[in-house]
Structure formats: C-alpha cells, structure tokens
C-alpha cells in the first residue's frame, strides 16, 4: 500500500475524483485488491500488477460516480464524469494512454518510493556502494577505494539492495 497508494491517488485525481473523496477511493481499491492478490497471475502477456491495479481503480472510480458521489447527482454531469474514466474496448487496460500520458513517470515515481522504503534497511556504507555503482554508474573499483571496501564487497552491496528492491517492486525492476 505504501508503494502504490500515491499512484492510485494520482489516477483518481486524473479521472476527476474530488480531492476529498480520493482517500476513501484509494482504500476501496486496496480493499478490492487484497482478496485477489493470491490469485493474481503476472505470467500471462500484458499481465502486470500495475495494469491489474489500474483496472480495479478504474472500476472503483466508475462505481463512485455511478453512486452519485463527487458532486455528480446524475444526468449529463454524471454521464460526462463516467466518460472521463478511461476504458479501452469496454475493458479497463493498463495500456490505456488516455489516463496518464507518461507511464514512464509512474514507474519512476514507484522506483523513488521503493528506494525510500528500503534505504533504512541497509547500513549507510552498503547503501552508498549500491547508489554509486547502480545510480551514478561508477566503477566498483572506484567505489571500493572511496568507501574502504573490496570490489567484491561493493558488488555484494549492490546485489543485496537490488534483491530487496526486486522483492518490493516485483516485475517492475529489470
């Protein structure tokens, strides 16, 4: 939830949900996600967690507007709001470009939140070794000299942090 709640909130706001209703909708989305987590399969083509989450969020936003929440009492205004929630071919899809023009920015924001969440789980020197090699693209030899580690120690630090990030992000990390 810590990782994906800001993304779901962003989608809700983009789809016209009032700021006051966003937290409740985010909670509804994750209440719907929780029972289905065990059955989620990302091994089928296009089956990403983010796409699945987005489809659930779209459905919850549509339900929200159908109930007359968010200021739309019905009629033309409600119809306009429902039409603003993206859907392709009648089925919500993660590749729907109408809702977010920059999916790379979504993934980058997820990476940043994941990095923030896992950083406190590592000693400062381990984190610095990872950061300097993986993010700053410095050589393990240079980083080892700077931090007083062996090159193998630098590689191990990078590997440990990446393994933890992979646990946090799943299929999003290469």
Domain 104-172: which topology?
Arc Repressor Mutant, subunit A (1.10.10)
Distance CA(84)–CA(7), nearest Å, equals: 18
Q: What is the pLDDT of residues 96-142, one digit of tens each?
A: 434 444 666 766 777 777 888 788 888 999 999 998 998 889 999 99
For position 44, what pLDDT does the model report? 61
For position 139, what pLDDT does the model report? 94
CA geometry: angle 18, 24, 27, nearest 5 deg: 135
Nearest to 92 by CA among 29, 140, 154, 148: 29
Q: Tell me if 113 sits within 8 A of 140, measured CB to CB.
A: no
Query: What is the residue-wise DSSP string for 15-53?
Result: TT--TTTHHHHHHHHHHHHHHHTTT----STT--HHHHH
Q: Is the pLDDT of residue 174 over 60?
A: no
- When the pLDDT of each residue in the chain is averaged and rounded to a whole number, the result is 76
Least confident segment among 1-5, 64-68, 101-105, 164-168:
101-105
Q: Is the pLDDT of residue 63 over 70?
A: yes
Would you list the domain boundaries of the chain? 5-100, 104-172
Q: Is the pLDDT of residue 157 over 90?
A: yes
Q: Tell me if 171 sits within 8 A of 49, measured CB to CB.
A: yes
Q: Is the pLDDT of residue 145 over 60?
A: yes
List, in sequence order, every residue forming a beta bridge with 88; answer none if it has no partner.
91
Least confident segment among 23-27, 87-91, 118-122, 145-149:
87-91
Higher-scoring residue by pLDDT: 164, 37 = 164
pTM for the whole structure: 0.50
Q: What is the pLDDT of residues 85-104, one digit of tens each?
A: 554 333 333 334 344 446 66
What proportions of the chain, in percent to the nearest 5, are helix, strand and coil?
Answer: 65, 0, 35
Give the pLDDT band of residue 15 (cuts 50, 70, 90).
confident
């Amino acid at each position: 939830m810590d990782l994906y709640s800001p993304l779901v909130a962003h989608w809700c706001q983009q789809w016209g949900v009032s700021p006051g209703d966003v937290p409740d909708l985010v909670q509804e989305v994750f209440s719907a996600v929780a029972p289905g987590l065990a059955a989620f399969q990302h091994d089928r083509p296009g089956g990403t967690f983010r796409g699945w989450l987005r489809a659930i969020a779209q459905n919850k936003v549509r339900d929200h507007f159908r109930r007359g929440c968010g200021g739309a009492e019905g009629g033309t205004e409600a119809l306009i709001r429902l039409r603003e929630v993206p859907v392709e071919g009648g089925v919500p899809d993660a590749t729907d470009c109408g809702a977010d023009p920059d999916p790379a920015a979504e993934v980058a924001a997820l990476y940043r939140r994941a990095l923030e969440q896992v950083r406190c789980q590592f000693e400062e020197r381990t984190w610095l070794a990872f950061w300097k090699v993986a993010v700053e693209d410095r050589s393990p030899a240079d980083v080892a000299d700077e931090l007083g580690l062996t090159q193998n120690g630098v590689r191990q630090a990078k590997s440990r942090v990446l393994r933890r990030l992979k646990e946090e992000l799943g299929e999003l990390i290469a």
